[in-house]
Amino acid sequence: MKKIVRTICYFSKEPSQKIIDRLKFIESELTKRGYEIQTRRICSSNKSFTELKNSINDNSVMLSIGSLNFKESVEKINDFIKTKNVSFNLDLTNDEIKKEHAEFLFKIIKESPESTFSFAYTFNNSHSSPFFPSATYEKEGFVIGLQSTNLSEGCKTIEEWLGKMKTCWLELDHIFKNQKDYLGIDSSVAPLFKNESSLINFIKKFKSFNESVLTDTYLKITKFIKKENPRPIGLCGLMFPCLEDFELAEEYEKGNFSIERNIYLSLHSGLGIDTYPLGIDEEIRKVIDILKTIQCLSKKYKKPLSVRFVSDGKSKILDKTSFKNQYMMDVLIKRL
């Protein structure tokens, strides 16, 4: 089976070459056991985009400053846009959602649309997830996140796939359990691209995506990844990244993945709205209403939820996007 680690993320107060070397060591321990490593990341408690960017000379390492409140975000937005590729999330768990919170997103779209990929709103966020832009620093150490969809290749049942996930979790935990800075495994299912990397591709082996939505399939997966993970940390949920899972993007274009359906699936199994396309002419009040809804649902069910809308800065509703981003499929944008 193809064992892919989506990310090794180190959480550090003071990132340095020492942390880079540590990431390389962790990667080497995994590659010699047959794992393919996609990304190495650092999430810092340093709230300066510029300082974090300047402290790391390795451009292959993805960076994040974690969570900011709204006041901090407004103060630092120009640095965020200037540094590029340094992620963060805006925590609105306890804010009264107003127009200014949605205007913040539209400012990013206008001035640096590619940066929408590195930004999300969060509600009741979990600490120490290695997945950006939701990652948030709590304590020093590293966390591993898998691209577990690839483990489903050749599986004839969902249970067989879940069993392969657990085998990998146990192996990872065995490898690192004696390392003092090992924090755990975020067992979130993080799909990407198509074929065996796509969650929707696997689901469609059993029934259509439309049919699957009204079954307990996704609930079973979520229950397993939370309960059977030997060292859980972070989000440990089911991701529905609209444009990163290319076969989900196809369902979006067919009209099968509306924002309402996204919220429904997120509520009982997922982690929120992720890489969902937004036309530059979309009504701002709709974004405000969605943020309010996600906030209320997150509070009601005490559940981590996030909202990551993405834009290429020029495509309107019914236009075909042009992201020029290998991780996102271009689609015809639909009205929210």
Beta strand 119-123 with 86-91 is: parallel
pLDDT at residue 267 in the model? 87
Q: What is the pLDDT of residue 269?
A: 77
Domain with 27, as residue range(s), is 3-208+216-239
Please tell me the predicted confidence (pLDDT) of residue 318: 96
Q: Is-contact 213 261, C-beta < 8 A?
A: yes
**Beta bridge partner(s), residue 310:** 277
Q: Does residue 142 lie in a domain region?
A: yes
Distances (CA, A) of 290 to 74, 262, 295: 21, 11, 8
The per-residue pLDDT for range 297-312, each reduced to its tens digit, is 999 999 999 999 999 9
Assess if residue 65 is contained within a domain. yes
In a domain, residue 318? The reply is no
| Parts of the chain with a pLDDT under 50 | none
The reply to whether omega before 191 is within 30° of 0 (cis) is: no
Rounded Cα–Cα distance for residues 251 and 241 (Å): 12
Give, for 90, the enclosing helix (H) or strand (E): strand 86-91
The number of distinct structural domains making up the chain is 1
Closest by CA to 49, choosing from 78, 25, 27, 29, is 78
Q: How many CA atoms lie within 13 A of 298 on its CB side?
A: 24
What pLDDT digit, counting tens, does each position of 150-202 carry?
Answer: 999 999 999 999 999 999 999 999 999 999 999 999 999 999 999 899 999 99
Residue whose tokens read 């972070």: 234
* Domain contains 155: yes
pLDDT at 121: 98
Residue 163 lies in a domain: yes
User: What are residue 123's DSSP bridge partners?
Assistant: 305
Burial call 166-183: b when 16+ CB within 10 Å, e when fewer: bebbeebbebbeeeeebb
Distance CA 121, CA 295 (A): 10
**Residues with Cβ < 8 Å from 94, sequence gap 6 or more?**
none
Is 322 among the domain residues? no
The residue among 305, 304, 3 whose CA lies nearest residue 150 is 3
* pLDDT of res. 1: 75
Residue 279, pLDDT score: 97
Give me the half-sphere count of Cα atoms (radius 13 Å) on the Cβ side of residue 103: 5
Distance CA 102, CA 188 (A): 28
Which CATH number goes with the domain that contains 82?
A: 3.20.70.20
Does the global pTM surpass 0.75?
yes
pLDDT number for residue 85: 85
What is the predicted pLDDT for the residue at 271? 93
Helix (H) or strand (E) holding 244: none
Instruction: Encode pLDDT of 67-96 as tens digits.
Output: 999 999 999 999 999 998 899 999 999 999
- 281 lies in a domain? no
Residue 326 lies in a domain: no
